Homo-oligomer: A and B are copies of this chain.
Amino acid sequence: MNSVKVGICGLGTVASGTVDVLRKNAEDISARCGFPIEIAQIGARRDNPNVDTSTINVTRDIFDVVINPEVDIVVELIGGYEPAKALVLKAIENGKHVVTANKALIAVHGNEIFAAASRQGVTVAYEAAVAGGIPIIKAIREGLSGNRIDWLAGIINGTGNFILTEMRDKGRAFDDVLKEAQALGYAEADPTFDIEGIDAAHKLVILASIAFGIPLQFDSVFAEGISKVSPIDVAYAEELGYVIKHLGIARRTEQGVELRVHPTLIPARRLMAHVNGVMNAVMVHGNAVGPTLYNGAGAGALPTASAVVADIVDVARSLATSSKQPIAPLGFQPETLSGEMILPIEEVETAYYLRLSVVDKPGVLSKVAQILSDAGISIEALIQKEHAEDSDLVPLIILTNKTLEKNCMSAITSIESLDTICGSVVPIRVESLE
């Protein structure tokens, strides 16, 4: 093989990083592949002042790239659903291999795209879609292929982790840190995707499919954001030996698969609790290997480009030796994907942190304890605070043992109806990650 030629669609941040990495590391990449990777064409509606394209064939019509006979691999870096989906399907139809960093596209349209790729015998690689530069797709699909994966849990949105880290380290409020994150460019002007857990849900769906061998099913993820996490809960969690992280969690149970994104108390002694700022980390628990953890930058031009280029090298290496892709898109052969049910959140079993505002009178605690006990929920730990001078309300913090979400929610409704309870109970799920 003389060279492998890529056509890059899009010229934003990640594309600019990809061009940069392919150029800067050309020598190492050639030495790894045994031949160079060349940029045959870039398709972009407008130039990017950070990228010197003087020596590259640039087209304003991104669809030119997928019909260019010179191009072996189409690199889709435009993001979003359309025209990305049409572009990728057209590339596949034309027999091109595809590398994409588009988590939304894979999470929502992946099943259709992989089926098309399978019919055409081409590869669709998407390492950059999850956790930026961390090679987590490869670790699960290949590195842990001898395992039955029991569960995984990840800090897979850097913006959210930055906000929670600042809240914890400096006792700051959510809104305040969000504004800073936006100023720093960590968060978008419309931060909904990041802070409401939608971005994390896209990534979690992909991770769960390759871990458990189930089709991609974005509609079944439960996602709860971090906008309601208050500094007081961060502080009480710490007092109890926990840290609040925004986790994507996927777990096999006998009843079905859990697929959920939400703020979570995790023990402070876990490695995951020390993953701070914009960094990402994914824990994967296999039945042979036990717990493993993968940590690194989850976003940014160069870290994401690192994953894009790794995918390009993977495809190029296999092009040099074979015309067939050795690994099925989701790691499992398509016909073996199981139809295991995704559990509705009400059926998920987990422990809870509950914060109540109670009237400081005898008998209140026993009523709350009775309601929990009637719901079959036992108490693991409890903190009752002193009341402030100007108030007769005191915070009561309860850590429960594991229970079904629906039992906990119904107990909360009963507790809130007590006349000695003020306002709503604040529940946050707790995971031991054991």
> Distance (Å) between the CB of A388 and the closest chain B CB?
34
Query: Quick one: which of A21, A143, A325 has the most chain B CB within 10 A?
Result: A143
A122 to B292 Cα, complex, angstroms: 30
Specify which of B274, B286, B302 is in contact with A290 (CB 8 Å cutoff). Answer: B302
- On whether the beta carbons of B317 and A326 are closer than 8 Å, the reply is yes
B-side contacts of A302, CB under 8 Å: 288-290
Segment with Cβ contacts to B, from A78-86, A307-315, A379-387, A414-422: A307-315
Interface residues of A in 290-320 (CB under 8 A from B): 290-297, 302-303, 305-310, 312-314, 317-318, 320
- On whether the beta carbons of B309 and A146 are closer than 8 Å, the reply is yes
A110 at the interface (CB under 8 A from B): no
B-side contacts of A322, CB under 8 Å: 318, 321-322, 324, 326
A274 to B275 Cα, complex, angstroms: 11
Given contacts A139-B138, A290-B297, contact A147 B317 (CB under 8 A): no
- On whether the beta carbons of B145 and A139 are closer than 8 Å, the reply is no
B-side contacts of A336, CB under 8 Å: 30-31
Given contacts A310-B143, A310-B145, contact A303 B288 (CB under 8 A): yes
What are 12 A-to-B residue pairs whose CB atoms are below 8 Å?
Answer: A21-B146, A21-B147, A34-B333, A134-B292, A142-B314, A143-B310, A146-B305, A146-B313, A290-B297, A292-B294, A295-B295, A318-B321
With A28-B148, A133-B288, A147-B306 known, 8 other A-B pairs at CB within 8 A are A30-B336, A31-B213, A31-B332, A31-B333, A31-B336, A133-B286, A135-B292, A142-B314
